[in-house]
Amino acid sequence: MVMDDEGITRTTQWPRELERAGEVDWRGVCHLLGDLVDSQELFEGLRAAAPERVGIEMSLTVDERTLLIESIQDALADGTLEIAEAVRRLRTEVTGLHQSQFAKMCKISVRTLVHIEHGEGNQTLKSLNAVFRPFGLKMGVVKVRRRL
């Protein structure tokens, strides 16, 4: 059970192939409901309503989101992307959420999120893991490659 921003308890669980790590393949869900409603019409209605209701952009498929998360993870691991930029990209490009919505979802303050996204302060592992958790990621140790 999940409580959304409006305090409504959500108990709907989509099949595993339609929902990964809290990310829903809305086009797939609409197709699944095609016996009851016109799936394309339903998808277009959701696409039009979702950004104003919950602040999500539904233009990426689940597979596209997975690839985006993996590319950000790889860039972090090889040192070509800083933590601050990675968190900002994950929030904006993957979830489409505003800072206040994302901070609430991660159970951290907006101030902490702003500091993380600006690379300011000395963030705790708990805070950093909180912002990475929705994407199936957490902070860790990687071996440094020697450059010749």
Report d(CA 135, CA 144) in Å as an integer: 24
* Same domain for 66 and 21: no
Could you give the 3-state DSSP secondary structure of residue 8?
A: coil
**Cα–Cα dist 17/27, whole Å:** 12
Q: Which portions of the chain are predicted below pLDDT 70?
A: 1-14, 20-23, 47-59, 148
Domain boundary among 38, 54, 70: 54
In the DSSP assignment, the letter for residue 19 is E
Residue 132 confidence (pLDDT):
96
pLDDT of residue 34: 80
Quick: pLDDT tens for 94-106: 888 889 889 999 9
Question: Which amino acid is it at 139?
Answer: M
At 32 the pLDDT is: 83
Same domain membership, residue 68 and residue 32: no
The span from the CA of 136 to the CA of 148, in Å, is 33
CATH number at residue 83: 1.10.260
DSSP 8-state code for residue 24: E
| Cβ-Cβ contacts under 8 Å for 139 (sequence gap 6 or more) | 125, 128, 129, 132
Residue pair 55/87 in contact by the 8 Å Cβ criterion: no
The Cα–Cα gap between 71 and 17 comes to 21
| Residue 100 is assigned to a structural domain of this protein | yes
Range of the domain at 83: 62-135
Residues 49 and 68 in one domain: no
Helix/strand/coil for 54: helix
Report whether 102 contacts 91 (CB < 8 A).
yes
Q: Is residue 28 within 8 Å of residue 78, measured between CB atoms?
A: no
Residue 147 placed within a domain: no
The pLDDT assigned to 49 comes to: 64
Tally of structural domains, the chain = 2
